[in-house]
Structure formats: structure tokens, C-alpha cells
Homo-oligomer: A and B are copies of this chain.
Amino acid sequence: MKIAVLMHFDAPSREKLEKALPGCEIVYAFDRSLSYLDREEFDREKYAKELLDADAAVGNPPPDLLPSMKKLGLLQLFSAGTEPYSLPGVLPEGAKLANTSGAFGKAISEHMLAAMLTLSKKLHLYRDDMREGLWLDRGSVTSPEGMTVLSVGMGDIGSRFLKLTKLLGARTVGIRKHSLTAPDWVDEVHLAEDLDSLLPSADVVALSVPGNAETRGLFDERRLRLMKKGAILLNVGRGSAVDSLALCRVLSEGYLAGAALDVTDPEPLPPEHPLWKCENALITPHVSGFYHLRETYDNIVAIAIENLVRFRDGKPLLTPVDPATGYRETQVWPKA
């Protein structure tokens, strides 16, 4: 079995991989001297030939390389998000797809909590005032205690975020599509059909849904205006779930108190996009996950190695992706 490693694997990770899969041919497309925080692409000229006969690949390669990988049986992504790989015709026929669902939950849910509290306590406005040397009282703030927090999406990220807010005294409400089961820190679970009726009572609405045809434009102007006046919106799933220009309007009017966006539409957000100038938007450049907590990187390496072993042994994968939904097969958000 030949494995192409198309993401940074540092020395300890290589050792674990080689120990778990003895006898496999392993090609590393990144120099081990690079930091795992580097975002650069691998040298495709140098490695394209090596990929032709790989049985498995780890990483998120340029999609146009995939058709030439005729032997590919498994593409193990380093991301939780699965597009464009889950789109029809992108993967070679017969290849399985796995993501790293679960690896990012801690990092992203903490980022969400930080962003929610920043907006609640107006720290973004005080930061702006610092630039002007301005000692100015920005008025009342809100507390997580007693807030209603609605998580749209109840995977690892959404569930963990509700746990953090519950610890700080919030009332937690989750929306999921396939069942009404939830961890015990979730006060209420609803199906997606209840979304519109739940929006008016939520102080914080947090989106952690994947990008697909169904979630595109989920928060259009109508839904943004169904939210409670003064509420906060968080989006960490895919930028396409929120209509950026409608959000600008709703924020500029002061209808919503704030929106923290770690994902945008488009992405990267172009320098001239009006969202940048929205005082109550808090934009981060898709950084809440990645490997910004070392633990995330370690999780990803562990999931990748486990899936490679299972693939070699012909066993079910730990985090298989259903190409039809872009979700883990075990956590499906089915069509309404």
C-alpha cells in the first residue's frame, strides 16, 4: 500500500504513522523542517508523479490532481469541511472520503465563546476606541447567565459550544435534523422545521452547519430579521450559510447587536467588501480551527492514522463522509 501524505507531518507524527503502518510506502510532500502552521501548498511539479499510484492520500490536494490518481481508495482530508471533494465527480470512482470531524470541536467552540463574549462586553468597540486614544463609556453590556443560546447544527462543534455557554449559565437550545437526542447540557432539542419559531427568542444564534445546497443562504434577510432585536449571530460553518450583504444591512441599522464571522461569503473577503466596515461585525479569516491549537493538529494526525489502518484492514472508517451531504455518515443532516 502506498500512502501520499499531502499535509505537514512533523517528526513525531511520521514516527506514529510509520509505526502503525509498517511496510507501507509513504511519500511526504512537505519538508519536515516546515512548521505545521505554514499554509503553503506542496510542490505539485515535484510530487504529481508520486500521486499517480497512491492507494491512499492524507490532506486536501488541489481537486484537479484527483482524476489522475486512478488507484486512490481513500482520501483522508485534514479538514472537517468536505467541499469540494464531496461534490459529484471530484473523487476518482470508488474512492472513499473521510474528514476529521471531531478534531476541531474544542478549538472552534472556544473561539465561538470568545467572540460571543467580545461582542457581549463590547470589547470590539473599546478596541476601536484605543486607536483614537479615546476613553469613552460604551454603555450597557449583557451577561451569558440567563441568555438563550441557539445552536443550529449539533455536531461536535455546536454541541461543545452549547456546553461552554451552559457552564456560564445560559439556557441552551439545539437544532438538529435527524434526531432529538442531545447531550445532557442541552436544555431543548428541536428539529430544523422549528428554526423560524425559535429565532425570535434566542439571544445568540450560532451556526455550525456545513456548506451544501441546503444550507446556502439559510440566514437570508428574512431569517436575520426573525432574530430578536439586539441578538448576536455567530457563524463558523461555511460563509455561504449567511447572506453577507443582508447581514451588513441588519447590523448597520443596529437591529442585531453583533455578528462574529469566522467564515464569509466570499472567502477570502475582498478588501473592499462592506462587511469589513460594519462596526458590529467581528471578522476572523477562517482561523478558529486550522491547527491554531496544537491539540487540533494532534487530533487530526490521530484520526488520519486510525483511518489509514482501518482502510488497510478493510474495516469501517472512523469518520466516513457521505458525498451526498458532506456530513459524516453517522451524523447526517438529511434533506427536509
Contacts and interface: CB of A to CB of B under 8 A. Distances in A.
A121 B126 contact: no
A48 interface: no
Interface string A148-159: 000000000000
Contacts of A121: 110-111, 114-115, 288
Interface stretch (A60-68, A131-139, A247-255): A131-139
A294 B145 CA distance: 13
A140 B167 CA distance: 25
A271 B39 CA distance: 39
Interface size class of A (residues with CB under 8 A): 35 or more
Nearest to A123: B118
B143 A106 contact: yes
Which of A135, A141, A287, A290 has the largest count of B CB atoms less than 10 A from its CB?
A: A135
Contacts of A37: 139-140
Interface string A96-138: 0000000000110011011101101101101111111111111
A218 interface: no
A39 B110 contact: no
Interface in A275-306: 276, 281-285, 287-288, 290-295
A133 B271 contact: yes
Contact of A143 (B128, B140, B284, B295): B295
A283 B127 CA distance: 7
A291 B137 CA distance: 11
A115 B124 CA distance: 10
A236 to B, nearest CB: 12
A272 interface: yes
A283 B130 contact: yes
Given A118-B118, A137-B39, A285 B110 contact: no
10 contacts: A37-B139, A106-B143, A107-B141, A110-B145, A110-B168, A114-B114, A114-B117, A114-B123, A115-B123, A136-B285
